[in-house]
Amino acid sequence: MKIALAQLNPLIGDLSGNTSKIISSCNKANNQNASLLITPELSLWGYPPRDLLFNSRLINLQWELINEIVHHIKNKAPNLSVLIGIAEPTPDNQLPKLFNSIALIQQNGWKVICRKQLLPTYDVFDEKRYFRAASNTGLINLKINNKAWNIGLTICEDLWVEEIIQGHRLVGPDPIAELTKKNIDILVNLSASPFTHSKELLRQQIAAKAAKRLHCPVIYLNQVGGNDELIFDGSSFVTDSQGKTIHSLPRCHESVSIWDPSCKEKVSEWETTDPQERLLEALILGLQDYASKCGFNSALLGLSGGIDSALVSVIACAALGPEQVSGILMPSPWSSEGSVKDASALAKRLRIRTSVIPINTLMKSYDNSLEKSIGEIPQGLTAENLQARIRGTLLMAIANKKRHLLLSTGNKSELAVGYCTLYGDMNGGLSVIGDIYKTHVFDLCKWIDSNKAYKLRAKLGLRSDGELIGSKIRNKPPSAELSPNQLDSDFLPDYETLDPILKALIEEKRNSEALLNQGYSPSLINKVQKLIKQAEFKRRQAPPMLKVSDQAFGSGWRIPIASM
């Protein structure tokens, strides 16, 4: 038996388009004599469909499209069986009214063969809003070439039951334990698992444990592609019964790959790619898909000569092509000559178009207009915010006129403590590095400029030797340049001190006592906690941020604005 693994990149809610992808995968599988085609979790809808699941028109369309797949298989691939992810209505009117299910499609029709048992409601997941938990584990028996195959089925979270490995698990049944009684030949897991820094290795460990418990190979098939803030990296794989990887699919790319259980494939070590390379590829995919799926062909950003806008420029060029990226330089009286030169030199290395719009005259105009209303020419924070808002307004105007996607260039450290300006530098349709701390921005840029990145840079169509970001940008002290000789450290602790505290509070959920035990002073801890709380109203109005950490400031962050 040959099994085709279709690692697909769906458009959420585009059931017709997603059906076309599935049918195309059927053709590829059939051409390679596959007997079974596997697609990801909710593959007909794309994950996560969220409140589109309440649309009865789409539910009804689903049945038409499933029958279309049945018709195609009957006429073009009669020996092929297909597993797809669907939203199955419950037989009653109690809420929730859907199951997250797998349908088996063959030439003579289709039927539901598996329903998800463990429904995640943590972080970005909200499945109990839509789905009802199933009570039984899925199982199918396929007779292929005179051999009966007993195949166990699970859906994403159903595999994640190893509390020792994960550090936690959902309350509920253990689908793997149930399958130990079924004497299965293969376990299949249809997933839609978003990328985070540590997720790839963790998936391997979880699947390996299931393989050892069941004494059979495990197929882990994941969705790929960017959907709003979430990035699905694919990285699907097959393990043998000992948990060793014997087959793998590419990271961050669609793919239909054939695995033959009867062939003794060589056990391979799991790919130990540099974490910086994995992160960069994920961010590129996230931006690329966000732009294309939202109807944008080009991107715009403000180039300040700083490291944040430099990193976003590199990601944008790799995602969309340099010819589709424009940078705007908007020097003020407080902009250093070096920053303008650094921004221009970066643009030349990246081969992107730039325009220079000095804002001196606009600043004076605002001063004159506001002087009578506030009793003086704007000073201090008011003046600094005006600069950022003038720049934000210019960028939005150009983006509107040219139909560019405006990219926000703020990092996670700034967003955490509110070192950013609403309707200014926070303007944009997408925050590309809003889930990356400032120190990690420096680390990633250092890696991009190292010879370790040359191969990937060439693959991405970027200049493949020498510095890309540039040492002048990487080595300058962080500054928003909104007042004379201003540095970020004038207002904030050094990022080397600040970022570990932020990560401990935001991602690791540590309390003040734990931080005190790590040696941080009470005054510093209180200051950072206060800044995080005061900035909540800003983050609520920020653009979507590409999620790459275990806790991002997105749909999984649900802190009240008005709170103690």
Instruction: List pLDDT tens digits, range 101-123.
Output: 999 999 999 999 999 999 999 99
On the question of pLDDT at 42 being above 90, the answer is yes
Tell me what pLDDT residue 313 has.
98
Of the pLDDT bands very low, low, confident and very high (cuts 50, 70, 90), residue 146 is confident
Considering the chain, what percentage of its residues have pLDDT values greater than 70? Answer: 99
- Give the list of residues 6+ apart from residue 561 with CB closer than 8 angstroms, or none: 536, 537, 540
What's the rounded Cα separation, in Å, for the pair 431 and 229?
A: 9
Residue where the block lists tokens 């040696």: 519
Of the pLDDT bands very low, low, confident and very high (cuts 50, 70, 90), residue 412 is very high
- What is the three-class DSSP state of 484? coil
- Quick count: other Cβ atoms within 10 Å of Cβ 455? 11
- For residues 429-452, give the mean pLDDT: 97
Q: Which CATH architecture has domain 3-263?
A: 4-Layer Sandwich (3.60)
CA angle 382, 388, 389 (to 5 degrees): 85
- Residue positions annotated with a catalytic role: 41, 116, 156
Same fold, 3-263 and 279-539: no
DSSP 8-state symbol, 450: S
Strand-pairing partners, residue 301, are 327
User: Contact, 286 vs 320, CB < 8 A?
Assistant: no
- For residues 56-83, give the mean pLDDT: 97
Q: Where are the beta strands (DSSP E) in 145-268?
A: 147-155, 186-191, 218-222, 224-227, 230-233, 237-239, 245-248, 255-259
Tell me what pLDDT residue 470 has.
95
On the question of pLDDT at 557 being above 60, the answer is yes
Give residue-wise pLDDT tens across range 159-202.
999 999 998 999 999 999 999 999 999 999 999 999 998 898 99
On the question of pLDDT at 301 being above 60, the answer is yes
- For residues 295-315, give the mean pLDDT: 97
What's the rounded Cα separation, in Å, for the pair 350 and 356?
A: 17
Torsion of CA 116, 118, 119, 124, to 10 degrees: -120
Of the pLDDT bands very low, low, confident and very high (cuts 50, 70, 90), residue 272 is low
b/e burial code for range 277-289 (CB count within 10 A of at least 16 → b):
bbbbbbbbbbbbb
Encoding tokens for residue 236? 């699907």
Short-list 54, 44, 56, 57, CA closest to 15: 44
What's the rounded Cα separation, in Å, for the pair 226 and 216?
A: 32
On the question of pLDDT at 271 being above 60, the answer is no
- 210-224, 372-386, 422-436, 439-453, range with the lowest pLDDT: 372-386
Strand-pairing partners, residue 219, are 188, 238
How far is C-alpha 306 from the geometric centre of its chain's CA atoms?
24
Tell me what pLDDT residue 266 has.
65
On the question of pLDDT at 269 being above 60, the answer is no
Q: Which CATH architecture has domain 279-539?
A: 3-Layer(aba) Sandwich (3.40)
Rg (CA), the chain: 26
The one-letter code for the residue type at 343 is A
- For residues 330-348, give the mean pLDDT: 89
What's the rounded Cα separation, in Å, for the pair 473 and 345?
A: 10
Tell me what pLDDT residue 268 has.
54
Tell me what pLDDT residue 486 has.
75
Count of helices and strands (H, E) across the chain: 18, 19
Does an H or E element contain 211, and which?
helix 199-214
What's the rounded Cα separation, in Å, for the pair 294 and 283?
A: 16
- For residues 125-140, give the mean pLDDT: 95
Considering the chain, what percentage of its residues have pLDDT values greater than 90? Answer: 89
Q: Where are the domains of the chain?
A: 3-263, 279-539
Which sign, positive or negative, has the C-alpha torsion 155, 554, 428, 434? negative
Tell me what pLDDT residue 276 has.
96
Give residue-wise pLDDT tens across range 308-328.
999 999 999 999 999 999 999
User: Contact, 221 vs 176, CB < 8 A?
Assistant: no
- What is the three-class DSSP state of 127? helix
Encoding tokens for residue 531? 């800044």
Half-sphere exposure of 49 (CA within 13 A, CB side): 24
186-191/218-222 β-pairing: parallel
Encoding tokens for residue 375? 């009793």
